[in-house]
Amino acid sequence: MRMYDVIAKKRDGGTLSREELAFAVNGFVSGQVPDYQMSALLMAIYLKGMTGEETAQLTDLMAHSGKMADLSSIQGVKVDKHSTGGVGDKTTLVVAPVAAACGVKVAKMSGRGLGHTGGTVDKMEAVPGTRIALSEQEFFDQVNRLGIAVVGQSSEMAPADRKMYALRDVTATVESIPLIASSIMSKKLASGSDCILLDVTVGTGAFMKTVPRAVELARLMVEIGCRNGRKVAALITDMDTPLGSCIGNSLEVAESMEVLKGCGPEDLTQVCCQLATNMLMLAGKGGEAECLAMVKRVLADGSAFRLCKEMFHAQSGDVRVLDDPRCFAPAQYQYDVCSPSDGFICKTDAEKIGIASMLLGAGRLKKEDSIDYAAGIRMYKKQGAAVRRGERLATFYTNDPARFAAAEETFLQGFSFGDEKPEQLKLIYARVTQSGVEYF
């Protein structure tokens, strides 16, 4: 077989066989297929698409390119949750302890943030001392003992995805539904959980810009997971506007603790309750009303918050910052951004606001960049709010004041103002399961 012929077949709109996909993926991981040929294949896939069967085969090959986690020594139903990425998206820090407090096992491997989107592992590391690399035995023991561990994705898992994603990132081939689906699901299948709840975000701050595209991606990922014997469902959630009020690592940890303590922002609390409810439903804990009641109970009685602290403590984190966010090392500099107009805020563009936060030092432009955990944005006004010219929209935090000007310019580009109150955005648009799509 020649890589040239595999590329040409896809370029001409053909359907690749498992053998042809295996030749490309395994050859790329072993170094026999060079970057330029894999790049050409990725672009051909981007342009011509893939069938469901081809995408499932590609996912399986990518998952098996490295270690497949065997979670059989953890007793009980293991539930995972994955977000396709967002701004201010700190839901894992809430829903993982909530689900575990309701009696399911959460053995979760998470990623880092890149560009305008954040990552759970960075947020965890904002809690001083937290270890995100546990040995396999420590990981299993902690999940058996506490019901929860959240660690960084092992470099041994799905190496094909890591190499392919690095190429996609520089060849304008990220925004392809079969490539995103196979990338995400290869890692989820390799991580070994029985049930997987996908949070497929839609809007300016997400990969998917429209609800139909998000539903298409969700359907494909649900199909791939189910074909591989996992229980999978997806919620389509809004990412036109940042979730919650805070963006930036320690700010987001503090805000997630507010949700766990029952005093978090309404939008974040609602999305977290729905995600946790759907995780429990997948795990067979009951119907929707029953699962939602369990979620509300562990939030109200403080057991989810206590479990979150136990998890951080077990992973060597300094839990004083979870009790009292004033224990976080503060940013040396802060700056208030004020409204340039009177009126209603018609838009708070998640992508622009995510980039502004990254410019303050909260995120990475390149993988190698370091993060300022104290940097970020606290928003006081979001889409739908009425404001007066000169009124405070947000506070910026950073340890490098030279960053304020560019961040403010980008942040304000994300706002538009009008005379009429805009229609309130939905927080959750749809649920996708094996049996179909339910729109809300």
Residue 339 falls in the annotated catalytic set: no
Q: Which residue is nearest to ligand URA (CB)?
A: 183
3-state secondary structure of 56: helix
Establish whether 82 is a catalytic residue.
yes
Q: At closest approach, how far in Å is the CB of 46 from ligand URA? A: 11
Our CA angle for 276, 282, 284, nearest 5°, is 110
Q: Report the Cα 376 to chain-centroid distance in Å.
A: 18
Q: Which stretch binds ligand URA (CB under 6 A): 133-141, 144-152, 172-180, 320-328?
A: 172-180
Catalytic residue chosen out of the listed positions 183, 191, 193, 245: 183
* Contact (Cβ atoms closer than 8 angstroms) between residue 245 and residue 265: yes
Minimum distance from residue 174 beta carbon to ligand URA (Å): 6
Distance CA 231, CA 233 (A): 7
Of these residues, 90, 123, 187, 378, which one is catalytic? 187
Q: What are phi and psi of 297, to 5 degrees?
A: -65, -45
d(CA 42, CA 72): 35
Residue of the chain from 69, 180, 359, 393 that contacts ligand URA (CB under 6 A): 180
231 in active site: no
- Which CB atom, from 130 or from 182, has the smaller least distance to ligand URA? 182
Of the pair 6, 164, the CB lying nearest ligand URA is at 164
At its nearest, how many Å lie between ligand URA and the CB of residue 122? Answer: 15
Q: Which is nearer to ligand URA, 86 or 317 (CB)?
A: 86
Catalytic annotation, pick one of 10, 116, 168, 352: 168
What is the contact mask toward ligand URA in residues 63 to 102, using x (rule: CB under 6 A)? ---------------------xx-----------------
- Tell how strand 231-238 and strand 428-433 pair up: antiparallel
Minimum CB distance to ligand URA, residue 180 (Å): 4
25/160 Cα distance (integer angstroms): 7
- b/e 353-384 (16+ beta carbons within 10 angstroms → b): bbbbbbbbbbbbeeeeeebbbbbbbbbebbbb
Catalytically annotated residue among 81, 82, 108, 230: 82
- 141 labelled catalytic: no
Q: Which amino acid, one-letter code, is at 113?
A: G
Interface with ligand URA (CB under 6 A), residue from 37, 91, 173, 183: 183
As given in the structure block, the two tokens for residue 165 are 């994603």
CB of 210 to ligand URA, least distance (A): 17
Q: How many residues bind ligand URA (CB under 6 A)?
A: 9
Does residue 249 bind ligand URA (CB under 6 A)? no
Task: State yes or no: residue 132 binds ligand URA (CB under 6 A).
Answer: no
Mention every residue, 6+ apart, whose C-beta is less than 8 A from residue 153: 109, 110, 111, 121, 187, 191
| 114 versus 311: smaller Cβ distance to ligand URA | 114
CA distance 113 to 90: 11
Q: Does the active-site annotation cover 187?
A: yes
Strand 148-152 and strand 106-110: pairing?
A: parallel
Catalytic residue among 89, 122, 161, 194: 161
| 201 scored as a contact of ligand URA (CB under 6 A) | no
Q: Nearest distance from residue 55's CB to ligand URA, in Å?
A: 12
How would you classify the pairing of strands 79-83 and 195-202? Answer: parallel
Helices (H), 114-210: 120-125, 136-146, 159-170, 177-191
- Is there binding between residue 149 and ligand URA (CB under 6 A)? no
- The residues assigned a catalytic role are 82, 161, 168, 183, 187
Q: Which residues form the interface with ligand URA (CB under 6 A)?
A: 84-85, 165, 174, 179-180, 183-184, 207
